[in-house]
Amino acid sequence: MALVSCPACDHRVSETAVACPSCGHPGAGGRHGVIPTLGRVAGTYVSANAFSELVLGSVMFVCVAAVLITLILAGR
Ligand SMILES: [Zn+2]
User: What is the pLDDT tens value at each position of the chain, 76 positions in all?
Assistant: 688 888 889 888 888 887 888 888 876 555 555 666 666 666 676 777 777 888 999 999 999 999 999 999 998 7
**What does the pLDDT read at residue 73?**
92
* Cα–Cα distance list, 59 to 14, 46, 53, 54, 70 (Å): 49, 20, 10, 9, 16
Global pTM reads 0.38
Give me the pLDDT at residue 59, please.
95
Rounded distance from Cα 6 to ligand 1 centre (Å): 5
Report the separation in Å between the CA atom of 27 and the middle of ligand 1, taken as the mean of its atom positions.
10
What separation in angstroms does the CA of 11 have from each of 1, 8, 15, 72?
A: 16, 8, 12, 72
Using the mean position of ligand 1's atoms as its centre, give its distance from the Cα of residue 9 in Å: 4
